[in-house]
Amino acid sequence: MAIDDFIEPQAFRPAVPGPGLDEETAAFFNANGYAILRDHVPSETLDAIRGDVEALVQQNYRSQKDIHLKSAQVGDALPTDLIQGTVERFNGPSELLQSFAFTKLPNEVRTKHWHQDGVYWGLSDSRVCCLFVPMTATTEDNGCIWFVPGTHKLGRMYHRVATDEFGLQNLECEMSAFRDPVPMILQPGDAVIAHTYTVHGSFHNTTDEPRISLGFHFRNQETELRLPEPYRKAQAEKLGRDPAAAA
């Protein structure tokens, strides 16, 4: 069976160079589906939010969603040029879908299977991006994210259900047809902008230090979420709002 049989085609909308987005960075993002933004976050901003993030991670390290609502410092940074403004240079006028903190503890065996973020939402088009902001250095040894360049142009792919080391179910896509993934070797202050259909995953932390990062998913203001109705109702009750609306 051909790889195309597993794909729902959705045309990639290229980033357009302009104020704050140079031609080289836009071209790299358009070709690969991600771009590393070196020294993007000032040290004083990281220092301001670090205490809140580390405290929240200690409360529940596996899942810290809506972190912009739990930390005033993160909430203050969210609508600024640093986060939302950066995403909008790649994705056009955008609204927040979700924010989160993701942690891998020291020497933790934890797999995030190869997947596309956009498969979880059922999008009317492909205009969704995520900005990843590492709070700690990320390396191959501590379970950094790996991206598969060019997969953002495939549209939404078929995913199967996979179970991680904690018995939690996630989605996983087929990797056999793709070229080698690229590790995101980052320092605090760097950031990564990634398209929602760029295949990525991460693996175990084999070091004695935690890996902590923040993520901010935004959709273009014209992009609709087409969630299955039972899921939509259940999430609406849980969140107290329409999950397909802006956060």
User: Does pLDDT of 2 surpass 60?
Assistant: no
92 vs 238, residue with greater confidence: 92
Q: What is the pLDDT of residues 135-166, one digit of tens each?
A: 999 999 999 999 999 999 999 888 888 877 76
| Residue 226 binned pLDDT confidence (cut-offs 50, 70, 90) | confident
Confidence of residue 1 (pLDDT cuts 50, 70, 90): very low
The per-residue pLDDT for range 11-39, each reduced to its tens digit, is 999 999 999 999 999 999 999 999 999 99
Residues 6+ apart with CB under 8 A from 245: none
Reply yes or no on whether the pLDDT at 227 is more than 70: no
pLDDT tens-place string over residues 43-75: 999 999 999 999 998 888 766 889 999 999 999
Q: Which is more confident, 233 or 186?
A: 186
Tell me the average pLDDT across 172-195: 90
- Which DSSP string do the residues of the chain spell out, in sequence order? --GGGGEE---------BTTB-HHHHHHHHHHSEEEETT-S-HHHHHHHHHHHHHHHHH-SS-EESHHHH-HHHHHHTTSIIIIIHHHHHHSSEEEEEEEEEEE-TT----EEEE-GGGGT-BSSS-EEEEEEESS-B-TTTT-EEE-TTGGGG-EEPEEEEE-TTS-EEEEE--TTS---EE--B-BTBEEEEETTS-EEE----SSS-EEEEEEEEEETTPPB---HHHHHHHHHHHTS-TTS--
Query: Half-sphere exposure of residue 229, counting CA atoms within 13 Å on the CB side?
Result: 0
- CA 155, CA 209: separation in Å to the nearest integer? 36
